[in-house]
Amino acid sequence: MHSLPSQAIRPFSHSPSLPLPSPSSHASRCLRFLPIFLKPKSRSEFLAFPPKSPPLIVRGCSSFSVKSPSELRTSSNPDDKLRSLRQLFSKPGVGIDAYILPSQDAHQSEFIAECYMRRAYISGFTGSAGTAVVTKDKAALWTDGRYFLQAEKQLSSSWILMRAGNFGVPITSEWLNDVLAPGGRVGIDPQFLFSADAAEELREAIAKKNHELVFIYDINLVDEIWKESRPKPPNNLIRVHDLKYAGLDVASKLSSLRSELVQAGSSALVVSMLDEIAWLLNLRGSDIPHSPVMYAYLIVEIDKAKLFVDNSKVTPDVMEHLKSAGIELKPYDAILSEVKSLAAQGARLWLDRSSLNAAIVNTYTAACERQYKHIEKTNKTPKNDGLNGWSSAPAGVYKASPISWAKAIKNAAELEGMRNCHLRDAAALAQFWAWMEEEIDKGVKLTEVEVADKLLEFRSRQSGFMDTSFDTISGSGANGAIIHYKPEPDNCSIVDRNKLFLLDSGAQYVDGTTDITRTVHFGEPKAWEKECFTRVLQGHIALDQAVFPENTPGFVLDAFARSYLWKIGLDYRHGTGHGVGAALNVHEGPQSISFRYGNMTPLQKGMIVSNEPGYYEDHTFGIRIENLIVVKEVNTPIRFGGIDYLGFEKITFVPIQAKLIDLSLLSAEEITWLNDYHSQVWEKVSPLLDGSALQWLQNNTQPLVMQ
């Protein structure tokens, strides 16, 4: 057994009482909290029933069978899909005028299994963030600035592209209020696609025009069209995440969590976020591409816990691991019946309405109402059992999940694993860049896909490699301007030595998760390209060197990374930093660094975020420089107000290409920063290399001299 850091349990008991941004709007990369569906709304924490009346519920019955993921966009004409979907609007028991399809699965995941990619199937747009809305005569898709160019390419003429965040572009509820006649019926699938908060806010927003939100349970209208071509749900084995990487055993984590439950006056917590379940139980899976998680729900009570998961995924090792932690297994689809049962027992459930799907919250609310009616009818006075609160009078505790905060603050073992895997990842990247430069210099024609595949080959040779942490963004020239570009074998470019090349990639290792972006030029860059690159670099350096008081939310730091671009009127359409999990999701909350100031989560010692400013010239080139950084305490000469001050520690060590830098724009301090960084890169990574890769690293870590 490895010794546990003394501060390892601290995050649970020190989680701030702050409303967290909704994971239902968790987009990928840096814009995790983009409100595509609705305008942002603050959410207070309270102990009560939600006072809103529920939407009308429609129940249908149908079965679906499930097809190859490659046919998400190609199995039929987009117009045929829309026509088939609209025909279902008038189906008995449905009767709607519009249908909304966001990107999420039942757990509000960013990356999702192929069988849940309903929005991609119906629209053809495969970006990770977006909302499709189909009426009887219109189809519109909302996405953010990272995906504008991609959506332009992928959407057919049947779709209206709504560039979310641009001036004059309405949000979905505003658009529906405008295009539907008063009294329209708007259908959603609450069990699979909407968090309780998102559904309630949508209901309120469309009620302004007397529209009705209709919960369509039991069937999803897109599934009705997808039929036998729909991919099957994943069924991959779960594995135990070793304690030497987790740093804290399950029993200790559960003990801390239960203390939080007692303090909040709750008797049980319902957890649906997959990375929270994986972290709390020290388990990892592979149900979702790039994310080492498994589809499951978890209920933690004061004296027991239940994991709702497909039993076929549980190996004997995992079974023993769970048993030793006192965790009972239940079928995945038994979650709603368990919620009903807990309400009947008088349990006070802690429910994070921003992440739990509407089906769970509404099931609990309805069960509580039935319990209250029973109490009234029998004239029984609720009794306090001394442990779980009112034993016969249930009430929801509506607060942000405490696991999110605890998971974000990495313990010593998690930080060690992250540092170690980043060094191995850096060695793989050095080997890759040495290979690529040699191939380009020989005149070999490389496609963007071949480049991405070769990088995967180098990474897969590193010890502990498990998977990529997201689809590699390998973009030459104009494709680099597509912020979330993914090259396809039948639709990609040759890497042009005379154009900028942007490579954003990452990996999942058994001990950590990486995410790095470098932009390079294999020929002679133009003066304008060098100026843009240098200003992005200056922003990157400014954020890396930032020192700030504790309890500072990430949005305060966003301007550090943009200021050098702003000076000449440039900017970028994504956030500057996202949280990163430790051998978990490459994008995690609640922390972020973004110009969207709704996220008030303070950056805390032990959190990991990305530092990735960029600049993108549409249809021309893209630039981004990304490192991962750990929030650390900084010893300042003065501590105003007696508080601590924080800064950052770099854990990514890959050279930044010198030929793209306009040294005349850099200060002496900035050149010193770059030289110090490259000195660290050489010192840390060179022992892992030999041959051409070692020579490449030496060539690209030479000190720069100020002009």
What string of DSSP letters covers 631-678?
EEEE--S--GGG--EEEEEE-------GGG--GGG--HHHHHHHHHHH
For helices 412-441 and 668-685, angle between their N-to-C axes, nearest 10 degrees = 100
Q: What's the confidence (pLDDT) of residue 382?
A: 53
Q: What is the mean pLDDT of residues 51-58?
A: 42
Residue in the structure block whose two tokens are 């809305």: 133
pLDDT band at 59 (very low <50, low <70, confident <90, very high): very low
| Higher-pLDDT residue of 2, 494 | 494
pLDDT bracket for residue 380 (50, 70, 90): low
Sequence-ordered list of residues with C-beta below 8 angstroms from that of 352, at least 6 positions apart, any chain: 398, 399, 400, 401
* Residues paired with residue 270 on neighbouring β-strands, in sequence order: 299
Does the pLDDT value for residue 407 go beyond 80?
yes
pLDDT of residue 551: 94
Tally of CA atoms within 13 A in the half-sphere of 96 that contains its CB: 27
Greater confidence (104 vs 576) lies with: 576
Please report, to the nearest 10 degrees, the dihedral formed by the alpha carbons of residues 389, 393, 398, 403 taken in order: 40
Cβ atoms of 407 and 581 within 8 Å: the answer is yes
Structure tokens at 22: 């909704």
Dump pLDDT digits (tens) for 600-612: 999 999 999 999 9
DSSP annotation of 308: E
pLDDT band at residue 707 under the 50/70/90 scheme: low
Sign of CA dihedral 138, 143, 144, 149: negative
Query: Is residue 206 within a helix (H) or strand (E), and if so which, with residue range?
Result: helix 196-207
Which element (helix H / strand E) includes 100?
Answer: strand 98-101
Q: What percent of the chain has pLDDT over 70?
A: 86
Q: How confident is the model at residue 21 (pLDDT cuts 50, 70, 90)?
A: very low
Query: What is the mean predicted confidence (pLDDT) over 239-268?
Result: 97
Give the dihedral of Cα atoms 436, 438, 442, 444; nearest 10 deg. -20
Determine the pLDDT at residue 193. Answer: 75
**Rounded CA gap, 72 and 106, in Å?**
19
Q: Which residue in 256, 271, 553, 591 sits closest to 399, CA to CA?
A: 271
In sequence order, which residues have a C-beta less than 8 Å from that of residue 553 and are 6 or more positions away? 597, 599, 600, 601, 602, 603
Give the pLDDT score at 42: 31
Is 155 in a helix, a strand, or coil? coil
Give kind and range of the element (H or E) at residue 433. helix 412-441
Over residues 187-213, the mean pLDDT reads 85
Cis geometry, peptide bond prior to residue 23 (ω within 30 degrees of 0): no
Is 50 exceeded by the pLDDT of residue 43? Answer: no
Assign 11 a pLDDT band (cuts: 50, 70, 90): very low
Residue 3 has pLDDT above 70, yes or no: no
φ, ψ (nearest 5 deg) of residue 645: -115, 145
Reference 207, options 360, 52, 365, 59; nearest CA is 52
What integer is the mean pLDDT of 617-638? 96
- The first and second tokens of residue 87, run together, are 């025909």
With a cut of 70, say whether residue 39 has pLDDT above it: no
Distance separating alpha carbons of residues 24 and 102, to the nearest angstrom: 9
Comparing C-alpha atoms, which of 202, 68, 80 is closest to residue 133?
Answer: 202
Instruction: Report which secondary-structure segment, H or E, holds 83.
Output: helix 78-89
pLDDT value of residue 76: 53
Cα gap 165→227, rounded to integer Å: 35
Per-residue pLDDT for 53 more than 60?
A: no
**pLDDT at residue 60 greater than cutoff 80:** no
Residue 27 confidence (pLDDT) above 70 = no
Mean pLDDT lowest for which of 31-40, 200-209, 395-404, 454-463? Answer: 31-40
pLDDT class of 18 with cuts at 50, 70, 90: very low
Q: Which amino acid is at 642?
A: G
Residue 523 has pLDDT above 80, yes or no: yes
CA distance 369 to 373: 6
pLDDT score at 476: 97
State yes or no: pLDDT of 52 exceeds 50: no
Compute the mean pLDDT over every residue in the chain, rounded to the nearest whole number.
87
Question: Does the pLDDT at position 327 exceed 80?
Answer: yes
Q: What is the mean pLDDT of residues 317-339?
A: 96
Residue 136 has pLDDT above 70, yes or no: yes
pLDDT of residue 38 exceeding 50, the answer is: no
d(CA 554, CA 593): 4
Mean pLDDT of 3-26: 36
Query: Residue 62's pLDDT is what?
Result: 31
pLDDT at 8 over 80: no
Confidence of residue 127 (pLDDT cuts 50, 70, 90): confident
Q: How far is CA 324 from CA 9, 102, 318, 327, in A?
A: 19, 39, 10, 8
- CA dihedral defined by 581, 584, 586, 591, rounded to 10 degrees? -30
Q: State the pLDDT at residue 468.
A: 97
Question: What percent of the chain is modeled with pLDDT above 90?
Answer: 68
Residues 6+ apart with CB under 8 A from 406: 11, 12, 15, 253, 256, 257, 279
Among the ranges given (220-234, 438-452, 497-511, 677-691), the one the predictor scored with the smallest mean pLDDT: 220-234
**Model pTM score:** 0.84
Tokens standing for residue 275: 């990375």
Residue 312 in contact with residue 318, Cβ under 8 Å? no
Helical segments of 442-490, H only: 448-460
C-beta atoms surrounding 373 within 10 Å: 10
d(C-alpha 579, C-alpha 358), whole Å: 26
Predicted confidence (pLDDT) at residue 510 exceeds the cutoff of 80 = yes
